[in-house]
Structure 1
Amino acid sequence: MIPSDVFRDLPVLTDDRLRLVPLAEEHFDGVRRMLDDPVGRRLTGTHHTFTDDEVRRHLATRADHHDRADWAITEAATGAFLGEAVLHELDAPNATAGYRISLLGPEVFSRGYGTAATRLVLNYAFDVAGLHRVGLEVFDFNVRAQRVYEKCGFVREGIYRSALYWDGIWHDVIAMGIIASDPRPA
């Protein structure tokens, strides 16, 4: 079992291209753009339209939630906001959490940012936080994300049939997971 406040002191995660910093109010403009991007909304299945007040409240409370880890993905060289990566739904007795990632929009897709950020988060989750398992859900039409997750070591575990209704079409949700002992390709 891991502590229920395992994410209390959230570190900055870095590689040669990215810095994942604790998500905070200073990231409002980037988060606002990300939430308004129609492509990103579809890829995340986001039907709700968030108000500025909702976004600001969310950002203002991230540091108070020690049962989840919310990072802003930023470019190491410039500090530019690229998206967010989150470990959430912590189940401390079972040392598991969910994972989600959202990038700013098509202008930052297919540049390796999602792969790099996911690898940083998984290394932290398993090697620092002591998690045993990280799971996620991805929509059937998001083939690019499925490839990224598989490249990072996630394995397909199942399908939730017709779980997302988007633009008049039902879509399946693919459940994926990785456990600490699974290979994590570099």
Structure 2
Amino acid sequence: MTQILRDPEVGRLTGSFHTSEEAGEEPDVELLQQWYSTRSEQNDRLDLAVVDHASGQVVGEVVLNEWDPEDRACNFRILIGPAGRDRGLGTEATRLVVGHAFEALGLHRVSLEVFAFNPRAQRAYEKVGFVREGVRRDALRFDGEWVDSILMSILEDEWADHRGRPGS
């Protein structure tokens, strides 16, 4: 994950960096090890590695977090590093984890935010059935420019209708 988080594109697309100068900065390895070593202890979120089955290499992570048991809802986020891009791994990981959210965890709603300058992710989410709900205008300032954040969600009845393959 250290190599993945070092990638400038990961930092930009996740909003972790606010300028291109910050991109590529060395992540604190000790802090990352501490963070990832505690993920299995959390009972209000699910953090998983995205692994390329062809190589066995970790290419990213996928997370269900901000769990709201009363509303049976949570947030979804994913990041894919350079070795996993443009091969459908993000779409596949999204489909698998969102399926788990509805079928195993019994959630009603899974939502996410994606920055407007990330059309690749928007397409992947739409392929799985996420629907655009709205826009948080000027939600991020990157390299001196304001960027909108697009709000998307998928509901349990939508998932039940298409199992992550709308229009098929």
Q: Please, what TM-score do these two structures have when normalized by structure 1?
A: 0.80
User: CA RMSD for the aligned pairs?
Assistant: 1.4
Paired positions, count: 155
Partner of residue 132, structure 1: 108
Higher deviation after alignment, 73-82 or 146-155: 73-82
How far residue 79 of structure 1 moved from its aligned partner, in angstroms, is 1.8
C-alpha deviations, 1:5-43, integer Å up to 9, x for none?
xxxxxxxxxxxxxxxxxxxxxxxxxx1011110011101
Verify the 8 A CA contact 2:67 2:75 in the aligned structure 1. Answer: yes
How far residue 134 of structure 1 moved from its aligned partner, in angstroms, is 0.3
1:99 matched to 2:76? The reply is yes
AA of the residue aligned to 1:147: R
Verify the 8 A CA contact 2:52 2:84 in the aligned structure 1. Answer: no
What is the CA–CA distance in structure 2 between the aligned matches of 1:59 and 1:129, rounded to whole Å?
A: 22
Q: SS at 1:164's partner residue?
A: strand
How far residue 77 of structure 1 moved from its aligned partner, in angstroms, is 3.8
Partner of residue 132, structure 2: 156
How far residue 75 of structure 1 moved from its aligned partner, in angstroms, is 1.9
Q: SS at 1:63's partner residue?
A: helix
Structure 1 runs (4+) deviating above 6 angstroms are none
1:90 matched to 2:60? The reply is no
C-alpha deviations, 1:40-96, integer Å up to 9, x for none?
110101038641121011011001101100000112243211110000000011100
Partner of residue 72, structure 1: 49
Task: Name stretches of at least 5 consecutive residues in structure 1 with no aligned partner.
Answer: 1-30
Q: Please, what TM-score do these two structures have when normalized by structure 2?
A: 0.88
Q: 1:181 aligns with which of 151, 157, 160?
A: 157
Alpha-carbon spacing, 1:109–1:149, altered in 2? closer, same or farther (3 Å): same
